[in-house]
Amino acid sequence: MTNNTTMQPAFHELNLIPEVLEALDTVGYESPSPIQAQTIPHILNGKDVLGQAQTGTGKTAAFALPILSKINIKQLQPQVLVLAPTRELALQVAEAFQKYASHLKGFHVLPIYGGQEYGSQIRQLKRGVHVVVGTPGRVMDHMRKGTLKLGTLKTLVLDEADEMLRMGFIDDVEWVLEQIPEKRQIALFSATMPTAIRRIAEKYLHQPEHVTIKLKTTTAETIRQRFWMVSGVHKLDALTRILEGEAFESIIIFVRTKTATIELAEKLEARGYAAAALITTGALPDTLVQMGLKERDLAPKRLRS
């Protein structure tokens, strides 16, 4: 993560609680990323935040660190709800909370998502949690069943709001927004700001602080960039045609999610390529998963083509 350390305050200048600072020591973060430096004070001050930032900017810690610094550990009821578009992201965010709360005794975070049986989620909700991280549909189901009560909610985070819109969850998100207490803090993060997201922000956020962080993208002059527009179902065939037509020694393919990376590696192997899924565990942005291929491992008939 790149930081302008001369301009950024240090973590200990941001009014985070000692337990959170200790956890940052443990994970080895030296200084806040720009989105963290800008967002942490607003969330600590109880302000609503409208953040335009992508994965890889450190946005999870930007909301998790100040939220943890405000948690009332003695109150074992949901104080914070994070809505995320996918089960994978919900799990990642819950794990991040766990990591940053490693020195906060008695802290409980619970990921809830579709596809998992209700029984254990309900048991854990009954036992008591401080933070719930969930996908919109399942969160809504629990609220309807009465197994997730948000009367004590202080903060709602909408993570990757544009993805939730893209995946058709926006009505569910709005339903949740209608149910939560009127006096609450909302932090909305989105990589892009389509009209529907702006409308949600205007309707539900109260005089939000705007934070915009762009990932610095630098491209080497020596790299020629080309693209081929294909619809989702044709991606594998298109990729196979490229692999058959281009001479290469090895290739890295960037895939958005861990599951999709593993699936793609398997499918390429089934088509005769030596492929392996390389999945990052932290230091790199979690979406930049890699896959390597070696031309010498290709079936001879492919080499001739």
Please report whether residue 58 would count as binding ligand AMP according to CB under 6 A: yes
Q: Which of 61, 67, 161, 255 binds ligand AMP (CB under 6 A)?
A: 61
Give the integer Cα–Cα distance in Å for 180 and 20.
Answer: 27
Query: Is 63 near ligand AMP (CB under 6 A)?
Result: no
Q: For ligand AMP, which is the closer residue by CB, 172 or 286?
A: 286
**Least Å from the CB of residue 206 to ligand AMP:** 25
Using CB under 6 A as the binding rule, the residues of this chain from 2 to 31 that contact ligand AMP are 29
Are 28 and 18 in contact, with CB atoms under 8 Å apart?
A: no
With contacts defined by CB under 6 A, name the span among 69-77, 184-192, 280-288, 290-298 that binds ligand AMP.
Answer: 280-288
* Residue number, 36 or 38, with CB nearest to ligand AMP: 36
Q: Report the residue number, 36 or 86, with the smaller CB distance to ligand AMP.
A: 36
Our finding on whether 282 is near ligand AMP (CB under 6 A) is yes
Tell me the window of 136-144, 163-171, 269-277, 282-290 that interacts with ligand AMP (CB under 6 A).
Answer: 282-290
Q: Within 28-47, which residues bind ligand AMP (CB under 6 A)?
A: 29, 32-33, 36
| Footprint of ligand AMP (CB under 6 A) | 1, 29, 32-33, 36, 55-61, 282, 285-286
